[in-house]
Structure 1
Amino acid sequence: MMAQYTPMIQQYLSIKAAHQDAFLFFRLGDFYEMFFDDAIAASQILEITLTSRDGGSQDRIPMCGVPYHSSAGYIKTLVENGHKVAICEQVEDPKQAVGVVKREVIQIITPGTVIDDHLLQDRENNYLVSIEKEKESYAYILCDLSTGELKGYTYSGNDLSFIQLLLSHGIKEIVGNKELSDSWSSIVSQTGQASISIQEENELEDQFCHLVKTITHPALIRAAGRLFCYLTHTQKRSFQHIKMVEFQQNDKRMKLDAFSKRNLELTESIRAKGKKGSLLWLLDATMTAMGARKLKQWVEEPLFVKETIEKRLQLVENLIGEFFIREELKVQLKSVYDMERLIAKISYGNASPRDLVQLKRSLLSVPLLKDKIKDIPGIYAAELHAKMNDHKALADFLDSAIHDEAPINIKDGGLIKSGYHEKLDEYKDASSNGKAWIASLERQEKEASGIKSLKIGFNKIFGYYIEVTKSNLSQVPERYERKQTLANAERYVTPELKEKERIILEAEEKISGLEYTLFLEVREHVKKYIPGLQELASAISELDVIQSFAVISEHYRYVRPTISEDGKVNIIGGRHPVVEKVMDAQEYVPNDICLNHERSMLLITGPNMAGKSTYMRQLALTSVMMQIGCFVPAESAELPMFDQIFTRIGAADDLVGGQSTFMVEMLETNFALTSATENSLILLDEIGRGTSTYDGMALAQSIIEFIHEKISAKTLFSTHYHELTVLEKSLPSLKNVFVSAVEENGSLVFLHKVIDGQADKSFGIQVAELAELPTEVISRAKTILQTYENHEKREALPIQEVSASIEEEIEESQLSLFIDKSENLRKKDPKELDIIKEIKALNVLEMTPLDAINALYKLQKKVK
């Protein structure tokens, strides 16, 4: 089949065959061209013209293309849509080629391997994850190729929970074997967040062994092997900037599942799906992109190591007390560019001259940063100071080599400073003197010929020339040699001009070639400093986060928390940090939270909109803030270190997973009940509301009892089931609290104050009035409510009795009419007694809907 095509199309097809899962950008001159199916699909995604060309076959070949110099934007669009792009370049000089110019794929750009500035978010990591499954557990490696970060994790749990955990990391691409791809592809694709790539090989090559020497977990080593096999295949270059893997030990960080990260809105809000309205948004006063990424990492993985938390808190306190130092630090941090990504580009071999200038300017800010923190007391400040090697030798080297106004393109010239290289200076002198000679010659020729409009110009085709307008041709000297005729002028050359042109052009050509060579040498030299530069970048990013904590803590009047040794929670005047920022701080009502061994569970009642969820979230966010080393929103705060936080707050369907609100609620609750320890924090909001009243109440009570008796975790449980408040009498560590509200002149007023005791009503109709439901609806609801309240109130029962009451209620409400009819029939026909017995024998709670329908159908046939 290929024989029918031209040699160039045959070359394209052979390269494309090895990269079926990517758009092949095939370099032809100044364009990247695409053919066949790639062209059809790309023209639609990129909204560019689809055309065709003759390829040697009977039919014309579909074709589209994008300019080489503006390809970044098109590549970005494809990658953001989850596609791969294989960059195919000419790898030999066309002038020396015999037949078709040799071409090869030099890089495959994928969603998880992008490194170009145009394709990245400055303040977010771009993670690729490599996965190894082992029975019911997983080992996975997170890699951000743009910063060199490498993190290893292990996880035990089901596939769905694991996928949600991965997505909570903000990953862009998943690498696994074909079996994993087949089982996950539909779920992952529906999220629209990440793509899946297949990599079967997972043997760790010798050149990467030093990066995982601290790991002993076999599955984690295989995950690393899979990662590096994939990177080698797609990137086709060295990875000097990739750091040694950091194994994230479960006992040294607070574990936050995907549910809790979402429910607490740690890095993005639930509704807008953006940063605004999240805890990250509140805390981000960082000055550098590196600091912003570090802050996001800390928020997503709080510490469970007291010593490190205390070190951070101490430095925050010290910086709060040093206003002028803090302000000077901010000024210097603003001068630091994104060193992590500059280092990655240097390692990759695609750093531009301007990138090296940015690196130099960043290094020049380091001595001033060190000077500002050297006098700040504390262990952490001393550690950061020690890591801040200013690399003066490298900064001086770059300052001597690279021109401050160097262009982005390394082939445009003007890269290297005068004085750096002797031979280059000679060429530059010849070029500049030659141009000065040209200017002098122009003045001489004007005087000698008397032609005032005479000028000497240059173009790439004819070189230097003397141009004379046609009205002055009679004054042209005989020694001028005609070169070109124009409509209104003639162009000439002289032997002297041609010789000087040769000298100038030769010098400029040598300047361009030598500058290019010298720049590559400079860039290669910088690679020797990569490990030290990465340590410096890490220290700067940490300092940036700490100063951000200090700025925010001072501005919002946060206090330093005390880490409790006995599991006690004692927060006085606590606030929800994000809600307080959004609303007028003067209107925010603070609340106390007290938990200990004798008071480990709070059962929270009160009307909707009164602030139950806010109260619960503020405890979790306060805990997260303390465990990342930030001050907290309160008058005073004593908190334990929580090993995990579990939340079920707010209602949301999982449309992607095909699960209802109630199913999501039960899954999240199950995860908490099966994973929590006595050192965990559990927040459960309105559990059981997704099913019938008595079903829900039975589940809620059973869950409360299980946590109280089996787990003993600190727990906040909000509910509208007032019947559950009687559990305070039977569960020693459970205490009732309620969010107060009052009725004034028939209107509901929320006080937003949480106090001990229980609410006597839910104020649901009053909330409906606030929502301005029709008056007729409100009036009718009040009448119905009064009817209900006239009946005997139910109280919470032990689980067995609750179940019995449910069955009794179902029998009374759903079958009463049928039984009444049967009783009447019995007077006329004694055979109906059998039907009544059958009805009473039915165990409704054990029946599926289909069983119930079948039973009812059989009974109906007997009656008829």
Structure 2
Amino acid sequence: MSEAKTTVETPLMKQYNAIKVKYPGALLLFRVGDFYETFGQDAVAASKVLDIVLTKRGAGSTSETELAGFPHHALDTYLPKLVRAGHRVAICDQLEDPRFVKGIVKRGVTELVTPGLSYNDNVLDKKQNNFLASIFAGKELGISFLDVSTGEFYVAQGNENYVLKLLQSFAPSEVIFSKSSRERFEKLFGAEYNTFALDEWVYAYDYGYDKLISQFKTASLKGFGIDGSGEAIIAAGAILHYLDDTEHKDTSHIASISRIDEDRYVWLDKFTIRNLEIVHSQHEGGVPLIEILDHTVTPMGSRQLRKWMILPLKSKEAIDERLRVVETFHADDYFADKVREPLKQIVDLERLISKVAVNRINPRELLQLKRSLKCIVPIRQALKDHTSVELQRMAEQLHPCEDLIDKIERELREDVSINSNQGNIIKEGIDAELDELQKIAFSGKDYLLQVQKREVERTGISSLKISYNKVFGYYLEVSNANKDKVPADWIRKQTLVNAERFITEELKVYEEKILHAEEKLVVIEQRIFNAMVQHAATFISQIQQNARVIGQLDCLLSFASVARANRYNKPEINDSLILDIKAGRHPVIEKQLPVGESYVPNDIYLDSDQQQILIITGPNMAGKSALLRQTALIVLLAQMGSFVPAESASIGIVDKIFTRVGASDNLSRGESTFMVEMTETASILNNLSHRSLILMDEIGRGTSTYDGVSIAWAIVEYLHNHGHKDCKPKTLFATHYHELNQLAEDLTRVKNFNVSVKEIGDKIIFMRKLKEGGSEHSFGIHVAQLAGMPNKVVFRANEILHFLEKDKHKNEKKKIQELPKATPQMNLFEADPRFMQIQDMLSKVDINTLSPVEALLKLNEVIGVLKK
């Protein structure tokens, strides 16, 4: 709000401005009566985002200011829209009951909701975490992620590439950093995230360390494995400071912190996560891998699956443990259903128990918590009774929470409302005074009906009725036709056109009893409900653990379900340097094929001794890119513990997967397609290991042919001869440069393969089958023709291609000089009189009315002309 418009202030606006100045950069929702109001620039912004009317307060005066508001009960509708638009929203409520206050009502901010901090179900996506990230730059970069809605808290530390990779993988809704680092970080990730800068002093080691040990009530951080990670500790401490700043004081559900250990997970750089379309598609309407894999039935399972997909394992033991559970469910469909059915009844335990911790849970949600905990009992028993050691271990980790279930079952009604202050939420027999008040409040109304019946009999006024309004309370209404029958002890209260209203002493006594009872019983019920919530809060750690186990179980069941539906098989994981896939398929593409069309599977074999690098040639559209991607996805699926789309797969543990596929540019940063390609390729070559899997597709196509060939050639040589003898990264190198086939003659571990096509006349059929040997043609002109390129262009391209192929061994200068010049249009027909005759014949044909037999006869006629 501009300064000019605050020179004359009403008491209300003075209060507003005093609160607003404490929350710079936040949009303030100011409670006034039954509305949340916004003023000044906040009103302008809110009206645009929410599509609500923008008006003016004090129009034409010095205190004129913009105004926009909405009913307070619509907060859950409007708040998500503001947060998703990137706004930080300060919710300023009335802290006193206006009925008992003279003058201005006391107000204060009860919550500051930001894109990365929210408990609101309408803001949150149940299938995704809502992470807040904090970054600190020291000798290394420290990064921390917190989902306040679930209590998950992670830290990591590393170089710039590692931190950027984590940012892309965790996709935080908001990123905070020091004001002094703003320029550096905004240059790093631009406008990709909602950001907020904190004062520099917040990012100090001692301050961060103290915030963390205070939060976890420990003497040190050694037990969390982060004690030596200085930059990560600073980043995590800043997150806890930000919680305080945003009025998030109740944080008992944030009880631990975990280190994302780079050595435990497969390295997937940000390019690979994007190129393989693991969790997001690059194309509108595209399908990412997660949509194929996600058959989970709980919110915890869906979120867990996303984390497993971006953090595949490198430990053979951990992978095999997951695979054994998937195999158990895959082999026994009946047992899998026995576990899955109760899982379907479990709601979002993680977020519900977080609401318990911050005292934001409502009666209906507490009932859902109880029902979900009851569903864990049969799951626990089924796992416990199974012979699988892994499943028995999971059963031991599930806590039955009988005491909490019993308390909620005993005290909370089954038909409760959402609000705890609307009454009728606590069962009978819990509190004697409450029971008495409920009889007065509810059976008292029955008594009023008895009074009405008695008075009808007494007066003979059959149309007599007892009603209630806020002004008079309970009253008797009599039509004018029956006025003469009204007893003398009735007191006239109001005269209407066709009737009169009366009260009696008896009615007033009962009215007072009923209203007093309703007010008092709400207070008692609120007290009992709050005690129930506090009791539930003692189970936070057990329920959080239940949620983690349920999420893992849900993921493994999902893997088994997908394997059964899509004919996946169990991979063999070993410590060798061999990758051997038989009849592998692309898990996404095979699900997108037209009905009746099946995916053509392919074998891939790579090792470090004989067949380290495959040079794969073949025409565009033949399936080279799909082959590369499916190989990486099969490895990823296997190392996250899933069955794979292949007849068999023997996979030596891969520690890093790199991809350089597809064309892209970053014009906003002045980077061309070729620059992006080279940047991604450089990242690969600078981070190789002996267990890396590298996929390169059409390297060098963004520049001139000779530059491109030279770069691609040098890269293959580097991958073959790189560093010491043990670093031989397994590589699939798809290219349209057939010249690279010569490398197999000089480099022992390079082998030529091609994705085959079948030529029939001047047509080609894509066989999509990988076979040994190089390909001599790209068939680019055929692809252009399939794409609908004008025939004149296709004819001319063929003419030039045949000339270049015929003279390809002559020097470049002579080629250019002898290249046939493009003549004006119709040059092909003018070159030979036969073509003129054929053109004349074809111009008289109406192809829309031509029968197949007539078409064959016409074709035979054309051939006859050509043979002359």
Q: Could you state the TM-score of these two structures normalised by the residue count of structure 1?
A: 0.89
Q: Is the 2:7–2:63 contact (alpha carbons within 8 Å) kept by the matching residues of 1?
A: no
SS in 2 for 1:675: coil
Q: Does 1:786 align with 2:798?
A: no
Relative to structure 1, the CA distance from residue 811 to residue 173 in structure 2 (aligned partners, 3 Å threshold; closer, same or farther) is farther
SS in 2 for 1:602: strand
Q: Specify the code of the residue in structure 2 equivalent to 1:766.
A: H
Q: Is the 2:321–2:390 contact (alpha carbons within 8 Å) kept by the matching residues of 1?
A: yes
Partner of 1:194: 194
Q: 1:766 aligns with which of 782, 787, 793?
A: 782
Q: Does 1:382 align with 2:386?
A: no
Shift of 1:199: 4.7
Partner of 1:596: 607
Shift of 1:581: 1.3
Q: Does 1:173 align with 2:174?
A: yes
Partner of 2:67: 63
Partner of 1:678: 690
Partner of 1:536: 546
Instruction: Report the Cα distance in structure 2 between the residues aligned to 1:737 and 1:539, rounded to whole angstroms.
Output: 45
Instruction: Report the Cα distance in structure 2 between the residues aligned to 1:487 and 1:723, rounded to whole angstroms.
Output: 102
Q: Specify the code of the residue in structure 2 equivalent to 1:174.
A: V
Q: Specify the code of the residue in structure 2 equivalent to 1:617.
A: R
Q: 1:204-223 counterparts in 2 under 5 A?
A: 204=208, 205=211, 206-210=213-217, 212-213=221-222, 214=224, 215-216=226-227, 217-223=229-235
Q: Is the 1:199–1:229 contact (alpha carbons within 8 Å) kept by the matching residues of 2?
A: no
Relative to structure 1, the CA distance from residue 188 to residue 91 in structure 2 (aligned partners, 3 Å threshold; closer, same or farther) is farther
Partner of 1:611: 623
Instruction: Report the Cα distance in structure 2 between the residues aligned to 1:658 and 1:486, rounded to whole angstroms.
Output: 79
Instruction: Report the Cα distance in structure 1 between the residues aligned to 2:53 and 2:165, rounded to whole angstroms.
Output: 39
Instruction: Report the Cα distance in structure 2 between the residues aligned to 1:271 and 1:687, rounded to whole angstroms.
Output: 21
Relative to structure 1, the CA distance from residue 189 to residue 474 in structure 2 (aligned partners, 3 Å threshold; closer, same or farther) is farther
Partner of 2:637: 625
Relative to structure 1, the CA distance from residue 410 to residue 197 in structure 2 (aligned partners, 3 Å threshold; closer, same or farther) is farther
Partner of 1:587: 598
SS in 1 for 2:669: coil
Q: Is the 1:188–1:195 contact (alpha carbons within 8 Å) kept by the matching residues of 2?
A: no
Instruction: Report the Cα distance in structure 1 between the residues aligned to 2:39 and 2:653, rounded to whole angstroms.
Output: 59
Q: 1:204-353 counterparts in 2 under 5 A?
A: 204=208, 205=211, 206-210=213-217, 212-213=221-222, 214=224, 215-216=226-227, 217-272=229-284, 277-353=287-363
Instruction: Report the Cα distance in structure 1 between the residues aligned to 2:761 and 2:814, rounded to whole angstroms.
Output: 42
Q: 1:27 aligns with which of 31, 34, 37?
A: 31
Q: Specify the code of the residue in structure 2 equivalent to 1:18.
A: K
Q: Specify the code of the residue in structure 1 equivalent to 2:745.
A: K
Instruction: Report the Cα distance in structure 2 between the residues aligned to 1:63 and 1:85, rounded to whole angstroms.
Output: 16
Shift of 1:764: 1.2
Q: Does 1:153 align with 2:156?
A: yes
Relative to structure 1, the CA distance from residue 47 to residue 512 in structure 2 (aligned partners, 3 Å threshold; closer, same or farther) is same
> Which has the higher mean CA deviation after the structures are superposed, 24-33 or 454-463?
454-463
Q: Specify the code of the residue in structure 2 equivalent to 1:567.
A: L
| 1:49-72 deviation line (CA, Å, top 9, x unaligned) | 111223996342221111111022
Q: Specify the code of the residue in structure 2 equivalent to 1:48.
A: I
Q: Is the 1:4–1:56 contact (alpha carbons within 8 Å) kept by the matching residues of 2?
A: no
Shift of 1:586: 5.2
Instruction: Report the Cα distance in structure 1 between the residues aligned to 2:190 and 2:466, rounded to whole angstroms.
Output: 64
Partner of 1:689: 701
Instruction: Report the Cα distance in structure 2 between the residues aligned to 1:199 and 1:391, rounded to whole angstroms.
Output: 43
Q: Specify the code of the residue in structure 2 equivalent to 1:723.
A: E
Shift of 1:164: 5.9
Q: Does 1:16 align with 2:20?
A: yes
Instruction: Report the Cα distance in structure 1 between the residues aligned to 2:312 and 2:338, rounded to whole angstroms.
Output: 28
SS in 2 for 1:758: coil
Q: Is the 2:363–2:425 contact (alpha carbons within 8 Å) kept by the matching residues of 1?
A: yes
Shift of 1:371: 2.4
Shift of 1:348: 1.7
Shift of 1:328: 2.5
SS in 2 for 1:390: coil
Q: Is the 1:739–1:751 contact (alpha carbons within 8 Å) kept by the matching residues of 2?
A: yes
> How large is the Cα RMSD of the aligned pairs?
2.1
Q: 1:713-724 counterparts in 2 under 5 A?
A: 713-724=729-740
SS in 1 for 2:390: helix
Partner of 2:125: 121
Q: Is the 1:199–1:226 contact (alpha carbons within 8 Å) kept by the matching residues of 2?
A: no
Q: Is the 1:6–1:55 contact (alpha carbons within 8 Å) kept by the matching residues of 2?
A: no
| 1:410-468 deviation line (CA, Å, top 9, x unaligned) | 22222212222222111112223322211111111111111110111122221111111
Q: 1:658-669 counterparts in 2 under 5 A?
A: 658-669=670-681
- Structure 2 gap segments, 5+ residues each: 820-868
Instruction: Report the Cα distance in structure 1 between the residues aligned to 2:816 and 2:175, rounded to whole angstroms.
Output: 53
Q: Size of the alignment, in residue pairs? A: 796
Shift of 1:37: 1.8
Relative to structure 1, the CA distance from residue 459 to residue 810 in structure 2 (aligned partners, 3 Å threshold; closer, same or farther) is farther
| 1:346-394 deviation line (CA, Å, top 9, x unaligned) | 1121111111011011011111112222233333212211111121111
Shift of 1:281: 0.5
Q: Does 1:655 align with 2:678?
A: no
| 1:146-194 deviation line (CA, Å, top 9, x unaligned) | 1111111122136xx8446413422110010012223334775633x43
Instruction: Report the Cα distance in structure 2 between the residues aligned to 1:222 and 1:268, rounded to whole angstroms.
Output: 31
Shift of 1:210: 4.3
| 1:760-811 deviation line (CA, Å, top 9, x unaligned) | 21111122222232222111111111111112449xxxxxxxxxxxxx9699
Instruction: Report the Cα distance in structure 2 between the residues aligned to 1:405 and 1:180, rounded to whole angstroms.
Output: 53
| 1:202-233 deviation line (CA, Å, top 9, x unaligned) | 32325225485521111111111111000111
Q: Is the 1:737–1:757 contact (alpha carbons within 8 Å) kept by the matching residues of 2?
A: yes
Q: Is the 1:190–1:656 contact (alpha carbons within 8 Å) kept by the matching residues of 2?
A: no
Partner of 1:75: 79
SS in 2 for 1:445: helix
Partner of 1:143: 146
Q: Is the 1:31–1:68 contact (alpha carbons within 8 Å) kept by the matching residues of 2?
A: yes
Relative to structure 1, the CA distance from residue 809 to residue 83 in structure 2 (aligned partners, 3 Å threshold; closer, same or farther) is farther
Relative to structure 1, the CA distance from residue 785 to residue 58 in structure 2 (aligned partners, 3 Å threshold; closer, same or farther) is closer
> Which has the higher mean CA deviation after the structures are superposed, 319-328 or 52-61?
52-61
Q: Is the 1:241–1:530 contact (alpha carbons within 8 Å) kept by the matching residues of 2?
A: yes
Shift of 1:642: 1.1
SS in 2 for 1:490: strand
Q: Does 1:634 align with 2:646?
A: yes
Instruction: Report the Cα distance in structure 2 between the residues aligned to 1:572 and 1:690, rounded to whole angstroms.
Output: 33
Q: Percent identity?
A: 40
Instruction: Report the Cα distance in structure 1 between the residues aligned to 2:626 and 2:18, rounded to whole angstroms.
Output: 61
Instruction: Report the Cα distance in structure 1 between the residues aligned to 2:479 and 2:189, rounded to whole angstroms.
Output: 71
Q: 2:55 aligns with which of 51, 60, 71?
A: 51
Q: 1:643 aligns with which of 655, 660, 664?
A: 655
Q: Is the 1:5–1:56 contact (alpha carbons within 8 Å) kept by the matching residues of 2?
A: no
Instruction: Report the Cα distance in structure 2 between the residues aligned to 1:41 and 1:535, rounded to whole angstroms.
Output: 42
Q: 2:756 aligns with which of 730, 735, 740?
A: 740
Instruction: Report the Cα distance in structure 1 between the residues aligned to 2:28 and 2:361, rounded to whole angstroms.
Output: 24
Relative to structure 1, the CA distance from residue 458 to residue 734 in structure 2 (aligned partners, 3 Å threshold; closer, same or farther) is same
- Structure 1 gap segments, 5+ residues each: 795-807, 817-864
Q: Is the 2:9–2:63 contact (alpha carbons within 8 Å) kept by the matching residues of 1?
A: no
> Which has the higher mean CA deviation after the structures are superposed, 60-69 or 373-382?
373-382
Instruction: Report the Cα distance in structure 2 between the residues aligned to 1:462 and 1:61, rounded to whole angstroms.
Output: 40
Q: Specify the code of the residue in structure 2 equivalent to 1:773.
A: M
Relative to structure 1, the CA distance from residue 793 to residue 367 in structure 2 (aligned partners, 3 Å threshold; closer, same or farther) is farther
> Which has the higher mean CA deviation after the structures are superposed, 41-50 or 299-308?
41-50
Q: 1:464-863 counterparts in 2 under 5 A?
A: 464-583=474-593, 584=595, 587-597=598-608, 598-710=610-722, 711-793=727-809
Instruction: Report the Cα distance in structure 2 between the residues aligned to 1:707 and 1:185, rounded to whole angstroms.
Output: 34
> Which has the higher mean CA deviation after the structures are superposed, 179-188 or 751-760?
179-188
| 1:318-361 deviation line (CA, Å, top 9, x unaligned) | 11111112123222111000111111111121111111011011
